């Protein structure tokens, strides 16, 4: 069973009503949805009755949720406080927002809340986003790119410990609330090189919070970005490190750094994910509205052919992974 992220609808202009979002999803053959962070309070008010009547089911909710008033949909995940911030007050605000998301998710019957943890504060002379500019300019194989990649990698690792401690502080506080409400936290791999968690930080979190209701949420486009940039060797590298911790997937295709395409419209081989997509793990198509309905439906066929049709209702708790010291990551 595949679910559909409301991101396919919430980036449209003008904004659709919540009822229209649900009706269009049902018309495309999707009864199970992920409610994404762009869903407004007004949209949620008209979606809730449909959920209550069982016309649609919510498999996951993407934090922050719902979107705060006055924040444009495209910026809903970048304007708020972050869990890995080094500022204690910001972390407290992030946790408070996370508690609201967990409460909403539980009320909607969702089993997983997907989280972004934040961005590592690198030295001002190191611009991690310049890597993306150089890739788009066709400079991926140049000596200058290799030098910048090494500098970003070193700076990223030098700052890992402080941001890991900050994230752990936030997640420790959220975990109790998640446990109480019967919801799991899904830590999503990120798109940009300066965002957290990376693989080593993720494993360290699982080791430090062993037994907490949290796991790994794999995003195919984000993994593709880090492969393109040179931080991962392959799409499945993080999955291979913690297969028993996987609690969900965002599936979308990518072409280099351009993602959120319908499966089959980019370069990704989705069949490599099949060993990791176990029954009970939510599989969500996170395709943006640039894809036509026909492309979206073709994408679902591509995923079935790749052997990814096992996703279903909320996953059961899984085991632990070994502790990894993120302050001194293993050399690649």
Q: Is the pLDDT of residue 22 over 60?
A: yes
Burial bucket for residue 108 (CB in 10 Å: 0-12, 13-18, 19+): buried
Q: How confident is the model at residue 326 (pLDDT cuts 50, 70, 90)?
A: very low
Q: Which ranges constitute the DSSP H helices of 13-141?
A: 18-27, 41-52, 88-108, 130-136
Query: Locate tokens 């980036």: which residue?
Result: 11
Distance between CA atoms of 105 and 102, rounded to whole angstroms?
5
CB 315 within 8 A of CB 200: no
Distances (CA, A) of 245 to 75, 117, 290, 318: 29, 17, 32, 6
Phi, psi of 72 (to 5 degrees): -60, 145
Q: Which of 314, 251, 317 is nearest to 110 (CA)?
A: 314
- 273-281 average pLDDT score: 94
- What domains sit in the chain, N to C, each tagged with a CATH number? 3-121+159-305 (3.20.20.150)
Q: Cα torsion at 183, 184, 189, 191 (round to 10°)?
A: 10
12-33 residues labelled b (16+ CB within 10 A) or e (exposed): eeebbebeebbebbeeeebebb
Burial bucket for residue 229 (CB in 10 Å: 0-12, 13-18, 19+): buried
pTM: 0.92
For residue 118, the surrounding DSSP H or E stretch is strand 118-119
Give the pairing of strands 195-196 and 57-62: unpaired
Strand-pairing partners, residue 215, are 186
52-77 confidence digits (pLDDT tens): 999 999 999 999 999 988 898 988 88
Strand-pairing partners, residue 332, are none
Phi, psi of 242 (to 5 degrees): -150, 55
Among 60-74, 81-95, 207-221, 261-275, which is the least confidently predicted range?
60-74
Strand-pairing partners, residue 40, are 67
- 117-142 average pLDDT score: 97
3-state secondary structure of 148: helix
**What percent of the chain stands above pLDDT 70?**
93
Instruction: Calculate the CA 213 to chain-centre distance.
Output: 16
3-state secondary structure of 204: helix
Higher pLDDT: 185 or 318? It is 185
Q: How confident is the model at residue 314 (pLDDT cuts 50, 70, 90)?
A: very low
């Amino acid at each position: 069973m595949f679910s559909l992220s409301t991101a396919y609808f919430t980036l449209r202009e003008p904004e659709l009503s919540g009822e229209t979002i649900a009706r269009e999803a049902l018309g495309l053959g999707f009864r199970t949805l992920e409610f994404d962070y762009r869903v407004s309070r007004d949209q949620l008010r008209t979606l809730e009755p449909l959920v209550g009547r069982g016309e649609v089911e919510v498999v996951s909710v993407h934090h922050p949720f719902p979107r705060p008033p006055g924040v444009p949909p495209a910026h809903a995940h970048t304007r708020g406080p972050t869990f890995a911030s080094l500022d204690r007050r910001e972390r407290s605000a992030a946790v408070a927002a996370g508690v609201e998301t967990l409460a909403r998710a539980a009320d909607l019957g969702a089993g997983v809340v997907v989280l972004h943890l934040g961005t590592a504060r690198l030295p001002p002379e190191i611009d991690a986003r310049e890597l993306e500019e150089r890739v788009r300019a066709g400079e991926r194989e140049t000596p200058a790119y290799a030098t910048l990649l090494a500098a970003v990698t070193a700076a990223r690792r030098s700052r890992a410990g402080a941001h890991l401690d900050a994230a752990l502080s936030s997640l420790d506080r959220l975990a109790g609330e998640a446990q109480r409400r019967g919801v799991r936290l899904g830590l999503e791999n990120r798109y940009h090189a300066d965002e957290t968690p990376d693989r080593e930080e993720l494993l360290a979190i699982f080791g430090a919070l062993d037994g907490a209701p949290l796991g790994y949420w794999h995003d195919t486009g984000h993994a593709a970005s880090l492969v393109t940039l040179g931080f991962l060797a392959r799409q499945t590298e993080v999955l291979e490190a913690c297969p028993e911790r996987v609690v969900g997937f965002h599936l979308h295709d990518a072409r280099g750094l351009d993602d959120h395409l319908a499966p089959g419209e980019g370069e990704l081989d989705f069949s490599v994910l099949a060993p990791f997509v176990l029954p009970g793990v939510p599989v969500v198509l996170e395709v943006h509205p640039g894809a036509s309905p026909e492309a979206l439906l073709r994408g679902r066929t591509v995923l079935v052919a790749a052997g990814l049709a096992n996703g279903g209702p909320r996953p059961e708790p899984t085991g632990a992974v070994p502790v990894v010291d993120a302050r001194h990551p293993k050399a690649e």
